[in-house]
């Protein structure tokens, strides 16, 4: 009888995250960066599939988070806001000088009351299962097998043995630009610096392996 009542109240366990609004993470989109030569525009507004990449990320994140905090330079805020300001649950964390990905994350997290935060680079588009990521746990980097952007040629001496056009490197893992961190971890980050150089080498962090879509628009 007790087991039956628990099933009615809690539901069957099916490895799906049961959201309580107070338990949902928040999200931070690291959106700083300008592109162009004569007319500069935020890289968050690069178009993919007919709309800016930041809109793809907002639509992907919204069902799983309480609010989305967009971290960008103060000069970029107005342009980005004109595109995505109509979405509910959007806030901005602006910088007058670029703080790096670690500094921007720490500053943006001050606007969050959640215990955990999903952090996304604006120039990476994925279809990562956020239910699965949240169940996997915090202090996690999402990784995927990268695809080479050119043909690979295997040789023996001067003879070509095999040619592979833009293969996926199945034995190599690369960061997808998506991270799930506890607020405790974020609080220890430097006020200025990068996640890649100033945070990841110095903390215990796990890899969430993603085998689906990963497109990067990084033009650095």
In this structure, are strands 174-182 and 159-164 parallel, antiparallel, or unpaired?
A: unpaired
Q: Assign 3-class secondary structure to 69-114.
A: EEEEEHHHHHHHHHHHCCCCCEEEEEECCCCHHHHHHHHHHCCCCC
| pLDDT reported for residue 219 | 56
| pLDDT reported for residue 2 | 39
CA–CA dist 29, 61 (Å, integer): 10
Ordered by start, the domain boundaries in the chain are 21-144+173-216
CATH architecture entry for 21-144+173-216: Alpha-Beta Complex (3.90)
Whole-model pTM? 0.84
**Buried b vs exposed e over 39-66: b needs ≥16 C-beta within 10 Å?**
eeebbbbbeeeeebbbbbbbebbbebbb
Residue 36 backbone zone (phi > 0: left; psi -120 to 50: alpha; other: beta): left
pLDDT digits (tens, 9 = 90+) for 122-140: 999 999 999 999 999 999 9
Cα→Cα distances 79→6, 37, 75, Å: 50, 17, 8
Mean pLDDT, rounded, of the chain: 86
Q: Is pLDDT of 15 > 80?
A: no
pLDDT digits (tens, 9 = 90+) for 167-213: 888 889 999 999 999 999 999 999 999 999 999 999 999 999 999 99
């Amino acid at each position: 009888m007790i087991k039956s009542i628990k099933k009615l109240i809690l539901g069957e366990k099916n490895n799906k995250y049961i959201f309580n609004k107070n338990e949902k993470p928040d999200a931070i989109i690291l959106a700083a960066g300008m592109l162009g030569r004569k007319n500069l525009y935020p890289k968050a507004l690069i178009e993919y599939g007919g709309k800016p990449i930041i809109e793809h990320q907002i639509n992907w994140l919204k069902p799983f988070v309480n609010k989305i905090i967009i971290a960008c330079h103060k000069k970029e805020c107005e342009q980005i806001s004109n595109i995505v300001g109509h979405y509910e649950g959007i806030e901005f964390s602006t910088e007058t000088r670029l703080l790096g990905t670690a500094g921007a994350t720490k500053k943006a997290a001050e606007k969050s009351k959640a215990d955990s935060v999903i952090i996304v680079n604006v120039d990476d588009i994925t279809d990562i299962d956020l239910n699965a990521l949240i169940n996997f746990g915090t202090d996690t980097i999402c990784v995927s097998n990268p695809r080479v952007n050119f043909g690979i040629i295997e040789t023996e001496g001067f003879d070509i043995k095999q040619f592979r056009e833009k293969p996926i490197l199945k034995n190599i893992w690369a960061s997808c630009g998506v991270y799930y961190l506890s607020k405790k971890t974020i609080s220890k980050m430097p006020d200025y610096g990068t996640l890649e150089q100033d945070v990841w080498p110095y903390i215990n962090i796990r890899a969430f392996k993603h085998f689906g879509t990963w497109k990067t628009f990084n033009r650095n």
